[in-house]
Amino acid sequence: MISEALFFSAVLFTIGVVGVLTRRNAIIIFMCVELMLNAVNLSFIALSRLHGSANGQVFVLFVMTIAAAEAAVGLAIIISIFRHHKSVDLRNINLLKG
């Protein structure tokens, strides 16, 4: 039971990482990041059950709250990028220079 849950979590996380690394569309990358977050959440729940402690579940609630806020900010940034560049393809955008 626990190993299946962790395996599933790892698969989800890897899919998220690969998506972040390979895709160019900002929205897709953003969704992949959410996928990674939820993979971690799944690990938390599984381990919380394994240890018989509520700590993991509390963490999950925190992560979901933060993720909601992050989603709001992230989507806002993407919208403003789109307004500026008329595109959300990250190949065209290299603003993150020091």
State the residues that interact with other proteins by CB under 8 A. Answer: 17, 20-21, 24, 90-91, 93-98
Q: Closer CB to other proteins, residue 22 or residue 53?
A: 22
Q: Closer CB to other proteins, residue 17 or residue 57?
A: 17
- Smallest distance, Å, CB 74 to other proteins? 13
- Smallest distance, Å, CB 21 to other proteins? 6
Estimate the crossing angle of helix 55-85 against helix 26-51, to 10 degrees.
Answer: 180
Q: How many Å apart are CA 44 and CA 47, to the nearest integer?
A: 5
Q: Closer CB to other proteins, residue 24 or residue 51?
A: 24
Residue 30 burial (CB < 10 Å; 0-12/13-18/19+)?
buried
